[in-house]
Chains A and B, each alone.
Chain A
Amino acid sequence: MFNLPMETAWAFLPWPILWLGLALYMYFKLKKEDHWEDTIVKKEKGED
């Protein structure tokens, strides 16, 4: 792959995709948490 030895290609090339995948996972996880926190705050204020 890209004229690299297999060992080097597998060690280095997947990382940008893995980091972006982790970032996306964290984005949706935190978005869910924010939504949950907003619901709690609204309930505490008696808006629901």
Chain B
Amino acid sequence: MSSDAIVFIIYLLALLFVGLYFSRKASKSADQYLLGGRNVGPAVTALTMQSTSMSGYMFMGGPALAFQQGWYALWYALGDAGGAIVNLSVLGKRMRRMSEILGALSPIEYLEKRYESGAVRIIGSVISIIFLFAYVFAQFIASGKALESLTGLPYTWALIIGVGVIIAYTVTGGYLAVVWTDFIQGIIMVVGVVGIAILGFSKLGGLSGLNERLGQMDASYLSIWGKDLAYIGQWGVVLGAVLIYSIGYMGLPHVVVRHMSMKSTKTVKSAIMYAATWNQLFVFAPYLLGLMAIVLIPNLSDPEMVIPTLAYEFFPGIMAAILLSAVMAAIMSTSDSILMQTGTILSRDIYQRFIDKNASQNKMVLVSRLCILAAGVIGVIVAIYQPPSVFTLVIFAFGVLGNSFMVPYITSVYSKKSNSIGVLCAMIGGGTTNILWTSMDLQTITAIHPFLAGLVISILGMVIGNKFGSAPSQPIQDAFEKSKGDRRIPRSIDKNISRDLSPEARNISKFIQANQPIKG
């Protein structure tokens, strides 16, 4: 057996061990199984958030875009590098507090309780299940493709083995198994990709050497407007490319749930630092490897195979084995989180909400496990029989989820008066706009990215819808105030209060002095 196969098998066994290790803890209650008892620390929160966010797209779609368009592809990396900082800073503390006050275990249940509307939960569940399924199908297909090309196994068997391991540890270990395997996978991802990038740069004479060679081949590779200046002047497309990965994560249910599971609000500050450091190390490297491939393997027939080809042709042996594990880590860390979230929504938001309201904790854990298993099996069957274009599906599902849920999650903790009509308009308007924009290819006509179009409509839907619905109840308004935390009075107001009170204080002290009884 080759060294890369041995490394990879050890890696898969380690993941299964993590699942088994957490299985007993996960079985204690629905809160433990679905949210890890809200006890996840900063490093694990940061890395699970990031490895979940960075899917197989980062090892296949991202480098392929750089291979085809040159430096233009880095627009996507720019936003991505700051996505976690924005996400944690904007939602982190407030959403952690609000979800605990509301007693919400799933991000869709959170929306229903915050906006006091069953319709929000039904529509939210439908949108998230459809597009999370689409997202996870794409990850499963990527997993099968990667294992097929890297191990030589037939696609179906590669798919069943790869996805089988993901389902096994997710079903047994629940949320804790998912976040801890994500933590390990996050480390493997960064080690694999940075290692290959360093080796690549040493071969090409650093970044300057790479750019010199690219410029000699075609100067437009170095442009911000794409190869042959295909996107020249299209700021609507560029803005959408930056925004989708810088703010879009705030709309993904399987990512925002990480705010709900943090140990405390104090977790946020350290999580920001961990995530920011990890991002700067990881995010740019796959795109730079795509640029290196233009020079090193210009005749590559399948651009999505840039990284595996680079690894096996130029750095065989242990580096290739680590990279194979890194590719699978990216796919698996996203797939397990989506499977977990799909199972949570099916069990908590559909089964317990509409079928068995009084289900016991044990029954809920069992139902959650069965839902995750069912979602995984359906995913495998679809991935075997209907393999569509992988990364078109990822960007599409990402965009629709982001446009549907980002505005509702932000306004849930920043706009006291936002109500159910506003959130329904934002969800349906934003999601539908992205679907229409993508399916009718309106980007070509308007030079506006589908995510940007969906975002504008979602914001308008929220603003206009809020005018029609009734204001949230007093308990929700109180919860909103509590979610802001104890706030310090701004320094300017503090100063004015002191100034206003000082004459009065002086007069009181004069009065007391003047009226003191004469002693002696």
Residues in chain A within 8 A of chain B (CB atoms): 2-5, 7-8, 11-12, 15-16, 18-20, 22-24, 26-27, 30-31, 33-34, 36-37, 40-41
- Per the bound structure, the CA–CA distance linking A16 and B215 in Å amounts to 24
Report A36 CB to chain B, min CB distance, Å: 5
B208 within 8 A of A: yes
B193–chain A nearest beta-carbon distance, Å: 15
Min CB distance A15 to B, Å, is 5
A23-B224 contact in complex given A12-B74, A16-B81, A36-B486, C-beta closer than 8 Å: no
Inter-subunit contact A27/B269 (CB<8 Å): yes
B476 adjacent to chain A (CB < 8 Å): no
Decide if A19 touches B276 in the complex (CB within 8 Å): yes
**A5 with B222: in contact, given A15-B81, A30-B269 (CB under 8 Å)?**
yes
Q: Are A19 and B212 in contact (CB under 8 A)?
A: no
Asked whether any CB of chain A lies closer than 8 Å to the CB of B279, the reply is yes
Nearest residue (CB) in B for A22 is B85
Pick from A18, A23, A37, A41: contact of B272, CB under 8 Å: A23
- Which residues of chain A are within 8 angstroms of B280 by Cβ–Cβ distance? 16, 19-20
Given contacts A2-B207, A7-B224, A20-B280, contact A30 B268 (CB under 8 A): yes
> Please, which residues of chain A bring their CB within 8 A of the CB of B268?
30
A22 touches B82 (CB 8 A): yes
CB within 8 Å for A5 and B272 given contacts A22-B82, A26-B89, A33-B485:
no
Chain A residues with Cβ under 8 A from B209's Cβ? 3
User: Is there an interface contact between A19 and B85, defined as CB atoms closer than 8 Å?
Assistant: yes
- For window 237-274 of chain B, which residues contact chain A by CB distance below 8 Å? 265-266, 268-270, 272-273
Q: How far is the CA of A31 from the CA of B275 in the complex (A)?
A: 16
Distance (whole angstroms) from the CB of A5 to the closest CB of chain B: 6
Q: B227 interface residue, CB < 8 Å from A?
A: no
CB neighbours (8 Å) of B491 from chain A are: none
A10 to B216, CA, bound (A): 21
- Shortest Cβ distance from A13 into chain B, in angstroms? 10
Complex partner residue of B265 from A2, A8, A34, CB under 8 angstroms:
A34
CB distance from B318 to the nearest CB of A (A): 28
Q: Is A8 a contact partner of B223 (Cβ separation < 8 A)?
A: yes
- The answer to whether B181 has its CB under 8 Å from any CB of chain A is no
Contact of B224 with A19 in the complex, beta carbons under 8 Å: no
Q: Which of B84-141 contact A (CB under 8 A)?
A: 85, 88-89, 93
Contacting residues, chain B, for A11 (C-beta < 8 A): 224
- Interface membership of B335, Cβ < 8 A: no
Which residue of the partner chain A has the closest CB to B273? A27
Q: How far is the CB of A21 from chain B (nearest CB, A)?
A: 10
Whole-angstrom distance between the Cβ of B172 and the nearest chain A Cβ: 35
Tell me the B residues contacting A by CB distance below 8 Å.
Answer: 71, 74, 78, 81-82, 85, 88-89, 93, 207-209, 211-212, 215, 222-224, 265-266, 268-270, 272-273, 275-277, 279-280, 284, 485-486, 488
Candidates B71, B93, B272, B279; contact of A8 at CB < 8 Å: B71
Q: Give the docked Cα–Cα distance between A30 and B279 (Å).
A: 20
List the A residue with the shortest CB-CB distance to B238: A11
Q: How far is the CB of A25 from chain B (nearest CB, A)?
A: 9
With most chain B CB atoms within 10 A of its CB, the pick from A15, A34, A41 is A15
Question: Do A2 and B208 form a contact, CB below 8 Å, given A19-B280, A33-B485?
Answer: yes
The answer to whether B269 touches A26 (Cβ under 8 A) is yes
Inter-chain CA distance A19–B84, complex, in Å, is 10
Q: List 27 A-B contacts (CB under 8 A).
A: A2-B207, A3-B208, A3-B211, A3-B212, A3-B215, A3-B222, A4-B211, A4-B222, A7-B223, A8-B71, A8-B224, A12-B78, A15-B78, A16-B284, A18-B82, A19-B81, A19-B276, A19-B279, A20-B277, A23-B272, A23-B273, A27-B269, A27-B272, A27-B273, A30-B272, A34-B266, A37-B265
Shortest Cβ distance from B488 into A: residue: A36
Cα distance, A4 to B71, chains bound together (Å): 10
Which residue of chain B has its CB nearest to the CB of A41? B486
B274's nearest neighbour on chain A, judged by CB, is A23
Complex CA–CA separation, A19 to B272 (angstroms): 11
Closest residue of chain B to A44, judged by CB?
B486
Q: How far is the CB of A3 from chain B (nearest CB, A)?
A: 4
CA distance A40 to B484 in the complex (A): 14
Q: Which 6 A-B pairs have the closest CB atoms?
A: A23-B276, A30-B269, A3-B211, A19-B82, A40-B486, A16-B280
**A5→B88 CA distance, assembly (Å):** 34
Q: Are A30 and B93 in contact (CB under 8 A)?
A: yes
Interface centre among A7, A8, A23, A36 (most CB of B within 10 A): A23
Q: How far is the CA of A2 from the CA of B486 in the complex (A)?
A: 48
Beyond A3-B207, A19-B85, 12 additional contacts (C-beta under 8 Å) are: A3-B215, A5-B223, A15-B81, A16-B284, A23-B273, A23-B276, A26-B88, A27-B272, A30-B93, A31-B269, A33-B488, A37-B265
Residue of A nearest to B214 (CB): A3
Q: Which residue of B lies closest to A24 (CB)?
A: B273
Choose among A3, A5, A22, A40 the residue with the greatest number of B CB atoms under 10 Å from its CB. Answer: A3
